[in-house]
Structure 1
Amino acid sequence: MTHSAQPEPTDFVAAFSDPEAAARYADGPRRFVPGFEALHRMTSILLAEHAPADARVLVLGAGGGLELRALAEAHPGWTFVGVDPAREMLRQAERTLGLLMDRVTLVEGYIDDAPDGPFDAATCLLTLHFLDLVAREGTVRAIHRRLKPGAPFVSAHSSFPQDDARSRWIGRYEAFAVASGADRDQAAKARSAVDAHLHTLAPETDAAVLRASGFRDVELFFAAFTWRGWIGRA
């Protein structure tokens, strides 16, 4: 890992590169993330507190297009740059967005491949847990550099206690997925993947990363089992 915000290629990119998996993506978050649609609505409200009616918004981890669609529908004057390293997920985003694509530019790559901005707002949902601490810090700093002073940034991802309670929280993650209709074997595999491969941090560490990267007024706005979300301003 260099000082660049771009991480080394990892298995998570390969996992999202299968066309069939990309096509099925929309079903996953609703079963594994409590309040998934509400998270999008809250993100829309929080960004709009400080972003103008004609805001240019950076969306990191845009593959699939669900977040982009929710924001574009809620704010007809906003335009977007969506960045994601998985080509098939970007293709799925195009299908998800349909006619809304006329306000969206999609970029295949990582944060270093994004335009310099400055942007009026930014989001990074269900993404940063794929990055280790060094890559995460670099990515968040790179987002901050691309924002206008005072611009809002919403980040939400897997974040839960990493002490002796860690296993109990991961069990709750699995149990919620099963209760939401996920196949039991699929939920068990997802639990194993989270346990072995995600770079999860404790919530207080995640908040500290945002502050150390230059964001102020950092507030927790979303907490649902193993998921947390924050709003901060550049």
Structure 2
Amino acid sequence: MAEGAQHFLDSFKDPAAVARYTEGPRRFVPGLDGLHRMTGLLLAERVPKDAHILVLGAGGGSEMKAMAEAYPGWRFVGVDPAGPMLDLAARVMGADAPRAELIEGIINDAPAGPFDGAVCLLTLHFLDRSERIRTGAEIRRRLKPGAPFVAAHGSFPQGIGERDRWLDRYASYAIASGGDPEQVAKGRQAVATHVAMLSPEEDEAVLRAAGFTGIEQFYAAFTWRGWVAYA
């Protein structure tokens, strides 16, 4: 885990923070609902109608809810280190919750599979480069040959002067989306201090180092990028 990322894990275990979580990502991530829809479409290109999907960083449940509603034959294994966030995921999924096995832990705690596809949204930026590669390799090891993997997270230029400019844009978008300026400023500072973001080029290199092929970027929105790759 990136140095200081425990700060964010602790916040995801705080009941008050968990209660506020459902609105947070939409204020910071442009087109989040569209990202969920595209994620399902990219998986559906390759997986069967009764697919078994691994979701890493599944706390909150919004991506599983979106996929469950769009693809009624899919089943899920959702893994997240924060138990309260998994409780929230079960509530968010509602009637579809029985289709998801929820596991508190990290990728090491996920079943061996093999899975038909995998998803990791808004999560990998909490890990440093070496742990991202290891986590990616463990995801790939749990996938059937050629299975799709969709990842999306914070990723933007990290050169001198560039990082601060993009973090300012990250904060400006959240404020324009209704976020409280004081809370957004604290969030920006926390990201700047505790999260080891990589550039898009470095993130693609991480996927290659983890053993994925056919890597394509499909999503770019201010400080966020998304890729599909294949085991």
TM-score range, shorter chain: over 0.9
> Unaligned stretches of 5+ in structure 2?
none
Distance 2:88 2:173 in 1: 26
Q: TM-score, normalised by structure 2?
A: 0.97
Query: 2:61 touches 2:92 (CA, 8 Å); kept in 1?
Result: yes
- Provide the residue aligned with 1:159 in structure 2: 155
- Provide the residue aligned with 2:134 in structure 1: 138
> Which of 44, 63, 67 is residue 71 of structure 1 equivalent to?
67
| Cα offset, 1:99, TM superposition | 1.2
| Cα offset, 1:31, TM superposition | 0.3
Alignment pair present for 1:107 and 2:103: yes
Distance 1:187 1:102 in 2: 35
Alignment pair present for 1:232 and 2:226: no
Alignment pair present for 1:199 and 2:175: no
Query: Cα deviation per residue 1:46-82 (whole Å; 9 max; x = unaligned)?
Result: 0100011010000000001111100110100000000
- Runs of 4+ with >4 A deviation: none
> Unaligned stretches of 5+ in structure 1?
2-6
CA RMSD after TM alignment: 1.4
Query: Cα deviation per residue 1:150-171 (whole Å; 9 max; x = unaligned)?
Result: 1000000000000021110000
Distance 1:39 1:102 in 2: 24
- Provide the residue aligned with 2:212 in structure 1: 215
**Shift in alpha-carbon separation, 1:58–1:8, aligned structure 2, 3 A:** farther
- Superposed counterparts of 1:1-234, under 5 Å: 10-164=6-160, 165-234=162-231
| Cα offset, 1:11, TM superposition | 2.1
| Cα offset, 1:13, TM superposition | 1.5
| Secondary structure, aligned partner of 1:231 | strand
| Secondary structure, aligned partner of 2:78 | strand
Distance 1:90 1:42 in 2: 23
Overall identity of the aligned pairs, in %: 60
Distance 1:217 1:192 in 2: 35
Query: 2:21 touches 2:60 (CA, 8 Å); kept in 1?
Result: yes
Distance 1:54 1:233 in 2: 19
Q: TM-score, normalised by structure 1?
A: 0.95
Distance 2:101 2:19 in 1: 20
| Cα offset, 1:9, TM superposition | 8.2
**Shift in alpha-carbon separation, 1:119–1:105, aligned structure 2, 3 A:** same
| Secondary structure, aligned partner of 1:52 | coil
| Secondary structure, aligned partner of 1:24 | helix
Distance 2:4 2:200 in 1: 24
Distance 1:162 1:140 in 2: 22
Distance 2:122 2:110 in 1: 18
Distance 2:56 2:118 in 1: 8
| Cα offset, 1:8, TM superposition | 10
Residue identity matched to 1:33 = V
